[in-house]
Structure 1
Amino acid sequence: MAKARHHVVVVGAGFAGLELVKELKGADVEVTLIDRRNHHLFQPLLYQVATTSLATSEIAWPIRHLLRRRKDVRTLLASAAGVDRAGKRVLLDDGGGIPYDTLVVATGARHAYFGHDEWEPYAPGLKTLEDATTIRRRLLLAFEKAETEPDPERRRALLTFVIIGGGPTGVELAGTIAELARDTLAGEFRSIDPREARVVLVEAGERILPAFKPELSAYAKGALEKLGATVELGRPVTGCGAEGVTFGGVVLPAATIIWAAGVAASPAAEWLGAEADRAGRVKVAPDLTLPGNPDIFVVGDTAHVENADGSLVPGVAPAAKQQGRHVAAAIKARLAGEGEARPFRYRHGGDLATIGKRAAVTDLGWIRLTGRPAWWLWGFAHIYFLIGLRYRLAVALSWLWIYATGQRSARLITQGDADGGNDGRA
């Protein structure tokens, strides 16, 4: 009787999980990939779906299609509910279980409202396609409602868009919404002028893009203000509700609020009974294993990974992909009977953030760029990491069209649930 092949179970088909599966090609293993959604999502461009620049199908791909030629990989559409470490099984929410020899947990992150989960209905975050289509529907409906609103104060609130959080996602959202109002929608309404829309970026810290050098943060602030956005610094938000946003002791009436201020890890630490940091990330050993459990790896946004100097590895796509490759190499080394696993070493490639369609900031360490050169570099970098020639061409053509005309084509308001979570190709 043939010996069963080593069974690797991967929970999560994000950047880390998919990269791991890709790197295990040709290894003497069987892989089961579990995800509660049927698609892999290119999260760095999710805000462009939310702001009508790209269609959902341009940044997400069916997992089964991506792995259709991998006969060693079984894909399951399911939600993990826990881990039986003693029995070495992943527990599913339908009551089933999947046995493993090696388990890799790569379940990503969710929104964090700093103890104010009651804000979520009024200030949705941006982590999934459903989040993006919800936000897009709210943005477009705000203009439509303003067109028929007779009350000036209510109309002003409908045309006020608040983004909470001054990291890359918040900056990118603010710049694109400002351009949507100023360029794309200008001239399409009769009772309102979309160019009068107010876009407000609220950041509790002293500058936006705090991970960037101060001069790049200052450039980004100036670029946003040039687009007509308002940047509020050093004023933490203390309330979100139907009436608007409260910060600095003042209520700003706003019908559309977007949360880009914080994330928390998935409940993986609870499943594993593991030590976690304040954001819920599992504290892992230097080789990315769960301390005391060498058969369990935790990677991506789920993991608290420290660099050699004690700093935290950032929760960005390149870091997740590097972790996926590291774990694949570690599994291969174990199967080959090699020695102790090497510690993970993160190689930082640089920081990039875009501000609208013609400006960006990039810090590659050895060179820093702003303006259009930075925007072109940002665009090439993101297109390079997309999956497949077809999608690279589709996104490149969409961006060139927006760059040349200011027009964004993914502006259909579809009727799904109350927040418009179902949009298909729109």
Structure 2
Amino acid sequence: MTNIVTIDGKASTRTTTPHRVVVVGAGFGGLETVYRLTGADVSITIVDRRNHHLFQPLLYQVATASLATSEIAWPIRYLLRGRKDVTTLLGTVTGVDAAARRVLLDDGQTLPYDTLVLATGAGHAYFGHDEWEPFAPGLKTLEDATTIRRRILTAFERAERESDPVKRAALLTFVIIGAGPTGVELAGTIAELARVTLPEDFRNIDTRETRVVLIEAGSRVLAGFPEELSAYAQRSLEKLGVEVALGHAVSDCNIDGVVYGDKALGARTIIWAAGVRASPAAEWLNVAADRAGRLQVNPDLTVPGHPEIFAVGDTVTIAAPDGKPVPGIAPAAKQEGRYVASAIKQRLRGQTPAPFRYSHDGSLAQIGKKLAVIDFGRIRLRGALAWWIWGIAHIYFLIGLRNRLAVAINWLWIHTLDQRGARLITQGRAVVDSQSVPSHSGEEKRVSSAR
């Protein structure tokens, strides 16, 4: 940028460097920050360890063979291709040197910043039992989704060939741990997959005999929803054939199944949906965090002691106007990203931003085909109408006309014909008994010639 200045009565030009903004993470919060900084006098660098932005609310539909990966993910470079003020980098952040104002990358390089935005998201939390992860994968990334899809579909394939009734029963038992929105959505969709989509595809098994067990340590499903919607969700799941086990904490996950309460259940497919843990951003900065590792930020979303560092999304914990924590959902992250971009612009103008104020637009969860619940506060919906609103809202927030049309057509196909077209088993040949079963080393066993 070139500024015209006056020195000793003479006009002169001076080149200044634009304000440097580094955004770590291209999720909803990070990407919204970049979008909203359009036109500001800044240079932006956005860095992510993956090359794509992911629409996480529909990730479970990839895991259950309803959608393809390309329908809910987009290359970051493509999304920002028209922004000459933005540099996109593929890399893994390993720390932050706050004193020197530099972001540290795994290859030894550093990124200098004037303002830093941490939008680093969250991973799975196994409550001190990380050894369970190989047997009970969580659902946060495309890799997670394709792994779970492979395990689900391979379980049916192996059951078709299994003559031992005990082993076949274990193969046809699917356990989901955690009855929040992700757990409920997974349980309902797997039940429909087994009871509606697959029965005509197999000859030696009846997929309608599949057991889908949803285990929750709390007293009800969808604990964040009003009690009447929670009760409706549980009744709807049970009508779909899902077994709901409430008030039981899981005490073990292994290659043979799970133990919850005082009961052992044989199951070869287990999915973890019980908790999340924030990225190590608080450790990078050596600042306070809650039990889930989320940064405790100031009212303006800055990190205490570091006014030049903002944090948004699942990286942080902050109270909403009602005193409850802002939920870790996409609309909240987008609101925070929008606020941070506005705050940066105001600071560049010499103004002081007002505190962030979260506005809750509502909570939505799908249970199954034509089954959903929505909580808009005073307005609460359930059933088919809620399902249509849920679908329209998700299609609206997808990026690009092609993806909106593709998802809408897929859902219409599933709605009318009960067929899911993304039933592909990838990353290996499903020909041996040990395929897609986690070994005790935490790696999946595959045929050595599969790649």
Do these two structures clear the TM 0.5 threshold for a shared fold by scoring above it? Answer: yes
Measured against aligned partners, the alpha-carbon deviations of 1:124-148 in whole angstroms (never above 9, x if no partner) come to 0000000000000000000000011
Match of residue 134 from structure 1: 147
Number of aligned residue pairs: 420
TM-score by length of 2: 0.92
Question: 2: distance between equivalents of 1:187 and 1:309?
Answer: 50
Question: 1: distance between equivalents of 2:370 and 2:24?
Answer: 38
Match of residue 193 from structure 2: 180
Match of residue 34 from structure 2: 21
* Corresponding residue to 2:174 among 146, 161, 169: 161
Question: 2: distance between equivalents of 1:354 and 1:307?
Answer: 25
Q: SS at the partner of 1:57?
A: helix
* Corresponding residue to 2:401 among 357, 371, 389: 389
- The two structures, once aligned, show a CA RMSD in angstroms of 1.2
For residue 150 of structure 1, report the CA deviation from its aligned partner: 1.1
- Asked if 1:404 is matched to 2:416, the reply is yes
For residue 242 of structure 1, report the CA deviation from its aligned partner: 0.8
Question: 1: distance between equivalents of 2:389 and 2:229?
Answer: 15
Structure 2 unpaired stretches of 5+: 1-13, 429-435, 437-442, 447-451
Q: Give the residue type in structure 1 aligned to 2:31.
A: L
- Asked if 1:413 is matched to 2:425, the reply is yes
Q: SS at the partner of 1:139?
A: helix
For residue 341 of structure 1, report the CA deviation from its aligned partner: 2.2
Structure 1 unpaired stretches of 5+: 422-426
For residue 420 of structure 1, report the CA deviation from its aligned partner: 9.9
* Corresponding residue to 1:231 among 236, 244, 259: 244
CA contact (8 A) 1:414 1:420 kept: no
- Asked if 1:354 is matched to 2:358, the reply is no
For residue 274 of structure 1, report the CA deviation from its aligned partner: 1.1
CA contact (8 A) 1:134 1:419 kept: no
TM-score by length of 1: 0.97
For residue 307 of structure 1, report the CA deviation from its aligned partner: 2.0
Q: State percent identity of aligned pairs.
A: 69
Larger Rg: 2
CA contact (8 A) 2:321 2:358 kept: no
Measured against aligned partners, the alpha-carbon deviations of 1:362-402 in whole angstroms (never above 9, x if no partner) come to 11113111110010000001001001111111100000000
Question: 1: distance between equivalents of 2:207 and 2:200?
Answer: 8
Q: SS at the partner of 1:187?
A: helix
Match of residue 170 from structure 1: 183
Question: 2: distance between equivalents of 1:288 and 1:26?
Answer: 22
CA contact (8 A) 1:138 1:419 kept: no
For residue 54 of structure 1, report the CA deviation from its aligned partner: 0.1
* Corresponding residue to 2:54 among 16, 19, 41: 41
Measured against aligned partners, the alpha-carbon deviations of 1:8-54 in whole angstroms (never above 9, x if no partner) come to 00000000000000000000000000000000000000000000000
Using a 3 Å threshold, how does the CA distance of structure 1 residues 219 and 40 change in structure 2: closer, same or farther? same
For residue 311 of structure 1, report the CA deviation from its aligned partner: 1.6
Question: 2: distance between equivalents of 1:305 and 1:329?
Answer: 18
Q: SS at the partner of 1:162?
A: strand
Q: Give the residue type in structure 2 aligned to 1:85.
A: A
- Asked if 1:30 is matched to 2:43, the reply is yes
Question: 1: distance between equivalents of 2:444 and 2:56?
Answer: 20
For residue 419 of structure 1, report the CA deviation from its aligned partner: 4.8
* Corresponding residue to 2:106 among 69, 77, 93: 93
- Asked if 1:77 is matched to 2:90, the reply is yes
Q: How does 1:283-362 map to 2 (within 5 A)?
A: 283-338=296-351, 340-362=352-374
Match of residue 263 from structure 2: 250
Question: 1: distance between equivalents of 2:226 and 2:151?
Answer: 34
Q: SS at the partner of 1:378?
A: helix
Q: How does 1:97-108 map to 2 (within 5 A)?
A: 97-108=110-121
CA contact (8 A) 1:122 1:257 kept: yes
Match of residue 372 from structure 1: 384
CA contact (8 A) 1:290 1:298 kept: yes
Match of residue 5 from structure 2: none
Q: SS at the partner of 2:221?
A: coil
For residue 342 of structure 1, report the CA deviation from its aligned partner: 1.2
CA contact (8 A) 1:81 1:93 kept: yes
